[in-house]
Structure 1
Amino acid sequence: MANNNLFDSIPSGIIPQQWCNLPYLHILDLANNNISGAIPNCLHDLTSLVYDESSMAATLFGEKRYAEQTTLMDKGGEREYGNNLIYIYIYINIIDLSRNNLIGEIPEVITSLIQLIALNFSWNQLTGSIPKKIGNITGLERLDLSNNNLSGPIPKSISSLNFLSHLNLSHNNLSERILSRNQLQTLDDSSIYADNPLLCGFLLPTKCPGDEDHTSNSSTSGGGGSEDNGAKNDNEMLWFYVSMGSGFLVGLCGVCFTLWIKESWRQVYFRFVGIA
């Protein structure tokens, strides 16, 4: 953990509330332990993750580099941050509590840590919903809440995370429609939402309620129009032939009737036919 004198890990137990009183903490990495209990509700006291200290640090200390190295889980793999990668005025703000036995809900105060770039609560036993104001963490690049028992809809505010490049919400009990706007349009991997039986819509084979009716109505409307046009054309052709046949019959009857009542015309006609 950066800017502190903490050593070793916490193999078991809970996260101490006292750790919220570490104003210079930038990396809280407790992954792969046996930590239980709830996520502390005082994380907003980690002021270095709430306020932008970079400009002040650069002014006071200049381009001082860190001497130590840090290895963090990033997008499923490990990434090293060393003395040539982190400047004192460019902070890497990360919370990684993955692969523990944490229970309870994700505290809403997590959304006040607007300087975070990575948040990983995966592989725990968290319940409840994703905080509605998760979009307040505007600089968030990586968010992994997979393999928990989270429920409810995906908050609309998550679509406002314009720097989000890695998202994993799989293996939960999330429900309702998947968002497909803004930055989320670029994250078009269906595995992001895998094993959430109640999710529907974009990228998933499960259609949301109303989608089937819309598709059906569109198909019916399109198909019905073609059938109506075909029937209309058939009727027009039928009436054309009926009219033509009727006209021919009326004309023939008229000629025959005229020849029947006009003997002089009849003689002329027979004489003409005989000559022909």
Structure 2
Amino acid sequence: MGADCNLRGPIPDSLARLPKLQNLDLTNNRLTGSIPPSFTRFTSIVQIELYNNSLTGALPQGFSNLTTLRPFDASVNDLIGTIPDELCGLDLESLNLFENRIQGSLPESIASSPNLYELKLFNNQMNRTLPARLGLNSPLMRLDVSYNGFSGGIPPNLSAKGLLDDLILIHNSFSGNIPEHLEKCRSLGRVRLRNNRLSGPLPDDMWGLPGMYLLELDGNSLTGQISRKVSSAFNLSLLLMSRN
């Protein structure tokens, strides 16, 4: 309901009084003001889509009440503050908050979701490290946290399920080695790691990924040799390795 309707003004609190509402889609409007705290009192909500509006303020507290919520998207707004731990503690399938002004760290609880396949937080002001267990318990397919201030190592379990097809971490301060187990992800198409502080050798088996068509490693401190297995990456159309 409500997508692409040229809606303006604040979101009314009264929406939360709809006991059977499952899908709230307000994308591509001109809504202003904050996300109502009453949103955390939805009783049947499964999906909340607030993409591309002019919403401000912080994400409300109390998301632990929304036990049926699966996708949550409030991207392309002007949200501030941090991501509530209660939101990340839900059994989310998709969490998209890109292109806001969100700060702070990504709560560790996001790594416990058994259903999370998509996490997009790019173009924010987030920092600290990503949860070390991210990807260990989730069927993670798409991860994009580019243009933030994340640091520390790339979580070693991102490829634990072997389903990753998009890994985009550009313009952060990630350090350490590239995880060695990316070769499990046979459908991995884009690996974008440029402009970080990564070091060490390139994982030898990474070159054998048949689906990889874009590999950006420039602007790091990587060392070593390019493996002969590069010839196995027959779909590779862009390879950037300068400034290493």
TM-score for both structures, normalised by structure 1 = 0.54
Q: 1:145 to 1:199 in 2, by over 3 A?
A: farther
Match of 1:168 in 2: 144
SS at match of 1:122: coil
Cross-structure match for 1:147: 123
Corresponding position of 2:171: 195
Q: How does 1:1-276 map to 2 (within 5 A)?
A: 3-4=20-21, 11-49=31-69, 93-114=70-91, 116-181=92-157, 183=159, 187=164, 192-202=168-178, 204=193, 206-208=197-199, 211=200
- Give CA-to-partner distance per residue, 1:123-143, whole Å, 9 cap, x none: 110000010121111111111
Q: Which has the higher strand share?
A: 2
Contact 2:33/2:55 (CA < 8 Å) preserved in 1? yes
Shift, 1:200, TM fit: 4.4
User: Match for residue 210 of structure 2?
Assistant: none
- Asked if the contact 1:44–1:109 (Cα under 8 Å) also holds between the matched residues in 2, the reply is yes
Answer yes or no: is the 8 Å Cα contact 1:12–1:34 preserved in 2: yes
Shift of 1:160: 1.3
Contact 2:139–2:163 (Cα < 8 Å) also in 1: no
CA contact (8 A) 1:98 1:123 kept: yes
Give the TM-score normalised by the residue count of structure 2.
0.60
Preserved contact between residue 142 and residue 165 of structure 2 (Cα < 8 Å) = no
Structure 1 vs Structure 2: percent identity of aligned residues? 30
| Equivalent AA in structure 2 for residue 137 of structure 1 | S
Post-superposition shift, 1:15?
Answer: 0.6
Contact 1:175 1:200 in 2 (8 A): no
**More helix per residue:** 1
Alignment check: 8 A CA contact 1:161 1:183 kept: no
In structure 2, the residue corresponding to 1:19 is in which secondary structure?
A: helix
Greater relative contact order (Cα < 8 A, sep 6+): 1
Q: What residue identity is the alignment partner of 1:139? A: N
Shift of 1:176: 1.1
- CA contact 2:33–2:57 (8 Å) conserved in 1: yes
- Whether contact under 8 Å (1:133, 1:157) holds in the other structure is no
CA contact under 8 A between 2:140 and 2:163: conserved in structure 1?
A: no
Q: RMSD between aligned alpha carbons?
A: 2.8
Q: CA deviation at 1:171?
A: 0.9
Runs of 4+ in structure 1 deviating by more than 3 angstroms, as ranges, are: 5-10, 184-190, 197-200, 203-208
